[in-house]
Amino acid sequence: MKSAKLFRYTLPMDSGVILRDEKLTERVGYVVELNLNGQRGYGEIAPLPGFSLESVEEAGLQAQAQLELWLAGQALEFDALYPSVAFGLSMALLELSGAFPVEGNYLAAPLCTGDPDELLPILSAMPGDKVAKVKVGLYEPIRDGMLVNLFLESIPDLTLRLDANRAWTPGKANKFAQYITPSLRQRIVFIEEPCQKPGDSLSFAINTGIAIAWDETLQEAVKRDDFRLEDLTGVKAIVIKPTLIGSVQRCIGLIERAQALGIKTVISSSLESSLGLSQLARLSHWKLPNVTPGLDTIGLFKAQLHVAWPGCELPVMPLAEQNLVWQS
């Protein structure tokens, strides 16, 4: 017995969420529910406004067409689909197969904003490496440099992941680096995309000794037919956001190739709901068991969806209360 449903969900967001200079008041996406002989598999399809090329409407139409093919017994060609659709459908099929481990890595690298003392209790409760995250590029680079240096000086066993989102010119990036004590720079695990141009980011890494990671550059590269991860040289890490990359199989392929090349990999969120976020935590634990994922976004929502994120007290909205737009 085979059936499928497609739900469209709407979740309220925290009032302070800004994406590419646009305020995001609600998160809208789709959830696929597959049923095969009593077994169920779920997948979230949620293009990220300002980052995904496909709109929510385009993703929904494509998902429905693919579900009809699946019900007809046809194999799905994930590489031909929008990344968000490929990820959601492949995840639902993986879950349906029973091959997807249930255990997840729900630890998140805490976001540092100001006072190092506020971070200490969180870090002390973390097993393994003490890693935290700092958003840079929103203010003057001098301020960012002084803040990062303060955290590294104040907490000797702390390592930091920095995210700049291509905010800096080469001059501003170098100004930031001037305020990081050279002996502390090795404790910056990486900074994601410091400059607007990838070549400038590579120069920054060479000149300062601060490791960088590809995020947007990876998203752009995987769309090319001749993509090879080894062409994205000079970085210490890649950040995989499956909603923006594609199918689970493509993501696993990237993880395995990165490991062969000695490149660190981090699974990160694209503001998925608690359902999709929990699946990313499971994927990270399965394929990257010793790496803390970048899944610290549940606090940006005002409600959860279908499943609860461990330790989160936000109300959980049942999938059955969302808009069922198609079923067969």
Which residue is catalytic, options 135, 236, 264, 302?
135
**237, 215 in Cβ contact below 8 A?**
no
What is the C-alpha R_g of the chain?
Answer: 20
**118, 150 in Cβ contact below 8 A?**
no
Q: What are phi and psi of 224, to 5 degrees?
A: -85, 140
CA dist 119 → 129, 192, 241, 307 (Å): 14, 21, 26, 28
Which residue is catalytic, options 130, 133, 241, 287?
241
For tokens 């695990």, name the residue.
189
* Separation between Cα atoms, residue 107 and residue 109, nearest integer Å: 7
287 is catalytic: no
241 is catalytic: yes
CA dist 310 → 27, 60, 125, 275, 277 (Å): 20, 29, 15, 11, 11
Measured torsion, CA atoms of residues 205, 211, 214, 217, in degrees rounded to the nearest 10 = 0
Measured between its terminal Cα atoms, the distance across the chain in Å is 11
* Separation between Cα atoms, residue 169 and residue 6, nearest integer Å: 43
Binding residues for Mg(2+): 163, 192, 215
Binding residues: 163, 192, 215
Active site residues: 135, 241
